[in-house]
Structures are given as structure tokens and as C-alpha cells.
Amino acid sequence: MVIKKRKKLIIVSVLIATILVGTFYILFFLPSDDLEWRIPTNKIAMIEIKGEITEDCEGGANPWAIRKLLDMAEEDEQIKAIVLRINSGGGDAGASWDLYRAVQRVDKPVVASIADTGASGAYLVAVAADEIIATPMSVIGGIGASMEFPFDVPVNASEEAEEMSSMPSGEFKDVFADYRLNESERAYLKERLESVQEVFSACVAESRNISEEDMMNISHGGWFTGEEGLQLGLVDKTGNLEDAIEEAAELANVSLKDTKVVTLRIEGSRVRVMEE
């Protein structure tokens, strides 16, 4: 009985050793082209920027959440590149700038993939990437700034105020304290918006290598299609998400055959990694 058990043990050990040696040989000595099923050694991380960009929201386009995901992608040595999947019409100026700077600081290849929309603050975020890819019919651009008032503003600037709620130390300190805007206040707010637009335009001009003259023709706040954006230098290529992933792999100098695409998301207080 003991001899039979020893024989069985020897046979099992030999089989296990054979399997291990065979696996080792296949993974490390056979040409990679013959191993379409081999275990991926690299990753491309996809991070979604959807909806309004604001500090007030949770998940999607919250700068804090996206910064956390970018940091995670930076720290993971297997992640060789990042694809920003953008579908947003923009949001708060400060939050958009915060996200723009966060993407600029990433020390790995970043490709912005614009789905339906990548406009205003979302386009500002996109220009921080190394490459921008949009579909021919994507909405892009919207280079400018706007302001939403906390009350209905009469068309006639000379209309009397309906309500007074404060006493200011300066002419423009309580610009929103009553329910009208006079000519002086309107001119002041327009000047403030133009200052924000100048910063926005400067970021686009520097990142996209667009001349000051050309920027004047495209920074009117209107939007363009992805195809028009390609002609204007606002995007690098037209294509879909798969094209953006391929571009990210190329920039990172890795083969997609050896690369896994993972989506990083924050759900509640945890980071969730989803494999494609």
C-alpha cells in the first residue's frame, strides 16, 4: 500500500513539474505573436469625466475624485498610459482649472478621448493631455466664460432695483445684492469674464501651439465639430475610444497584445477597478 501511494505521489509530482516547466517555456521563450492569450503585463487606465465639472458633485466630474484616480494611475507601475474619456460640457471655472493642472502634472502618456461633448471647461481639461481624439461629430471648443446670475436680470439696465439687501464698501462689492444690473455693473462683469477667457485662451494656445491671431478667431465661445476641430488644430485626430486606446499604447511604447485596459472609478469611498 505504501509503495503504491509513493508511486502515485511521484507521478503527480512529475506531472506538476512538467506543467510548470511547460508554462514557463511558453510564457518566456515562445514568440509573443503566438501568445494572444498570454497574461497581460501592462495596463492602460481609463478615467471618465462625465457631466458638470464641479467640486459640489460626487464621482463623475469631481476634481478631487479624478485627482485621486490620476494619483492611483501614477503610482501603479503596471499602468503605462491613461485615457481620459470625456463627455462633459464644462462646469465651474476654478474646478476646471484645477483638473487641467492635475492632468498636466501626470508623468505618463495621457490621451483625451472626447465622446459626444468636450466643451468649455471640459475642453480645457482635454488640452492638458498629450493627444486629443474626438469623433468627427463631437462637440468641442466653447472657449470662453459665462456667468449665471442668482436672479432674473432685467434687459433694461436702468430699471429700478426691486430689493436692496446690503450696504457695500465699494461700487461692485454687492453687485448681486439687488435685482438689477446697471450699465456700470454690466461692464464690470463683462471685463471679469474677459479676464477668465484670456487665461483659458492662453492655456489652449500654449498647449495646442495655436497663434494669437488664430485664437482670436476661435475663442468666441462657440463650439465646433470634431472634424472642424481637426482642421483648426483643436484636436489631433478623429476617431473613437478604441483609437484613443491604441494611441495611448503607442505613446507608451507597449503592445496591446500584452496590455489590459482597466477603468478606474470611485464608488462611495472606494476606488473600483473594472477590466474591459
Asked if residue 257 and residue 124 are part of one domain, the reply reads yes
Residue 172 lies in a domain: yes
Place of cell 469674464: 193
What per-residue confidence (pLDDT) applies to 44?
97
- Domain boundary at 221, 244, 267, which? 221
Residue 103 belongs to what domain range? 37-142+222-276
Burial of 92 (0-12, 13-18, 19+ CB in 10 A): middle
pLDDT along the chain (276 residues), means of 10: 53 59 54 52 94 76 90 95 96 93 97 97 97 97 80 62 54 61 79 87 93 89 95 97 97 93 79 64
Q: How many domains does the chain have?
A: 2
pLDDT for the residue numbered 187: 83
Q: What is the DSSP string of the chain?
A: -HHHHHHHHHHHHHHHHHHHHHHHHHHHTS-GGG-TTSPP-EEEEEEEEES-B-TTS-STT-HHHHHHHHHHHHH-TTEEEEEEEEEE--B-HHHHHHHHHHHHT--S-EEEEEEEEEETHHHHHHTTSSEEEE-TT-EEE--S-----SSPPPSSTTSPPS------SSTTTTTTSSS---HHHHHHHHHHHHHHHHHHHHHHHHHHT--HHHHHHH-SS-EEEHHHHHHHTS-SEE--HHHHHHHHHHHHT--GGGEEEEEEEEETTEEEEEE-
Q: What is the dihedral of CA 122, 127, 133, 138, to 10 degrees?
A: 40
Is 182 in the same domain as 157? Answer: yes
Together in a domain, 255 and 161: no
**At a CB cut-off of 8 Å and minimum separation 6, what does 47 contact?**
66, 69, 70, 73, 82, 83, 84, 85, 263, 264
Question: Do 118 and 164 sit in the same domain of this protein?
Answer: no
Q: pTM above 0.95? A: no
Asked if residue 80 and residue 110 are part of one domain, the reply reads yes
Q: What is the pLDDT of residue 146?
A: 79
- CATH number of the CATH domain containing 266: 3.90.226.10
Contact between 145 and 123 (Cβ < 8 Å): no
pLDDT of residue 108: 97
Q: What are the two backbone dihedrals, phi and then psi, of residue 39, each rounded to the nearest 5 degrees?
A: -65, 125
Q: Are residues 236 and 110 in the same domain?
A: yes
Q: How many helices (DSSP H) and strands (DSSP E) are in the chain?
A: 8, 9
